[in-house]
Amino acid sequence: MSEIILEAVDLEYSYPDGTKALSNVNLKVQKGEKLAILGSNGAGKSTLFMQFNGIYRPNSGSIKYQGQDISYKNRALIELRKQVGVVFQDPDSQLFSSSVYQDISFGPLNLGLSEEEVRERVKQALIDTETTDLEDKPTHLLSYGQKKRVSIAGVLAMEPEVIIFDEPTAGLDPRHAQEFMQLLEDFSLEGKTIILSTHDVDLAYSWSDRLAIMSSGEIIAHGEPRELFLRPELIERADLALPWLLEMYCGLVEKGWLPPSTPLPKTRDDLLRSIPTKTDTTG
């Protein structure tokens, strides 16, 4: 049976101003899975992520890490954050040191690692996020996408077991977004558990093993991406759109280019493979 590494149980959360942000949220995250969270603006994705590493505490319900309710005592939270790293949506709320290098090394230094180990981890995180050239630069002078990559590097350098990314590709140019997704693939192969939120339905559809859809503070559905995207009422309720691959697939079936029995493609290559090769009729 698969191991549950992180779990939200009956979560309820309202902000101090009375805004109800999470309602009856139940979610089990399996060790090693790739989970995407989709949902419109204000659906509660970022709020949920901040519950996962104890930044916010639920009004009722609980977060469990490896089967145990998390504790909100300082020392326990420090331990939890070694295991569960969250890259915030807004990089400005994550970066605070004067230089990129200092910022990325802050977390590992607080883990009590040797200076050499810290240097190694920072170097690797700089390479992974292609920020090596920026290491001496003051963080406040970086472009938005560069800040985003440095904030990702800061969490990677902690080497957490579960890595949570809140809209990681928003603001990244296409090449860096693609390379970031490749990096996630590498982490996944190492057995890390990855959760991300995104508004990019194409990315969520092709990348994730499992999808959770949020609307107005609730998880309204979760499951295999191909099953969820075939439910139009769900897509409409959560302000989503069909992934490009499914649009194409449905169009090709409708026009008779593909038999309706063709399996739903998960990737562009799946779709291309299912289209018959054109036979040469000129000879």
Ligand X SMILES: Nc1ncnc2c1ncn2[C@@H]1O[C@H](COP(=O)(O)OP(=O)(O)OP(=O)(O)O)[C@@H](O)[C@H]1O
Using CB under 5 A as the criterion, which residues of the chain lie in contact with Mg ion when the complex forms? 45-46, 89
Q: Which is nearer to ligand X, 94 or 105 (CB)?
A: 94
Strand 68-69 versus strand 34-39 pairing type: unpaired
Say which entry of ligand X, Mg ion, none residue 21 contacts (CB below 5 to 8 A, set by partner kind). Answer: ligand X
- Count CB-CB contacts under 10 A for residue 100: 28
Say which entry of ligand X, Mg ion, none residue 215 contacts (CB below 5 to 8 A, set by partner kind). Answer: none
Examine residue 19 and tell whether it contacts ligand X (CB under 6 A).
yes
Q: Which is nearer to ligand X, 59 or 110 (CB)?
A: 59
What is the rounded end-to-end Cα distance, in angstroms, of the chain?
57
Rounded to a whole number of angstroms, the minimum distance from the CB of residue 47 to Mg ion is 8
CA gap 72, 54 in Å, rounded: 7
Q: Which is nearer to Mg ion, 90 or 130 (CB)?
A: 90
**Is the Cα torsion angle 199, 204, 209, 210 positive or negative in sign?**
positive
CA nearest neighbour of 163 among 135, 139, 128: 128
Examine residue 282 and tell whether it contacts ligand X (CB under 6 A).
no
What is the size of the binding site for ligand X (CB under 6 A)?
Answer: 13
> What is the per-residue binding string for ligand X in 33-72, x denoting contact by CB under 6 A?
------x-xxxxxxx-------------------------
Using the rule CB under 6 A, give the single segment among 11-19, 70-78, 79-87, 140-148 that binds ligand X.
Answer: 11-19
Q: What is the DSSP letter of 139?
A: G
Examine residue 17 and tell whether it contacts ligand X (CB under 6 A).
yes
Alpha carbon of 137 to those of 66, 142, 150, 205: distances in Å? 38, 8, 11, 36
Using the rule CB under 6 A, give the single segment among 16-24, 56-64, 221-229, 232-240 that binds ligand X.
Answer: 16-24
CA gap 148, 106 in Å, rounded: 16
Q: Which is nearer to Mg ion, 170 or 250 (CB)?
A: 170
Rounded to a whole number of angstroms, the minimum distance from the CB of residue 23 to ligand X is 11
Say which entry of Mg ion, ligand X, none residue 134 contacts (CB below 5 to 8 A, set by partner kind). Answer: none
Q: Is 181 exposed, middle or buried (0-12, 13-18, 19+ CB in 10 A)?
A: middle
Could you give the dihedral angle defined by the CA atoms of residues 99, 102, 105 and 106, in that order, rounded to the nearest 10 degrees? -110
Q: Which is nearer to ligand X, 32 or 39 (CB)?
A: 39
- Count CB-CB contacts under 10 A for residue 19: 11
> What is the per-residue binding string for ligand X in 65-104, x denoting contact by CB under 6 A?
------------------------x---------------
CA gap 238, 258 in Å, rounded: 29
Say which entry of Mg ion, ligand X, none residue 47 contacts (CB below 5 to 8 A, set by partner kind). Answer: ligand X
Could you tell me the two tokens for 150?
């440095």
Residues that bind ligand X (CB under 6 A): 15, 17, 19, 21, 39, 41-47, 89
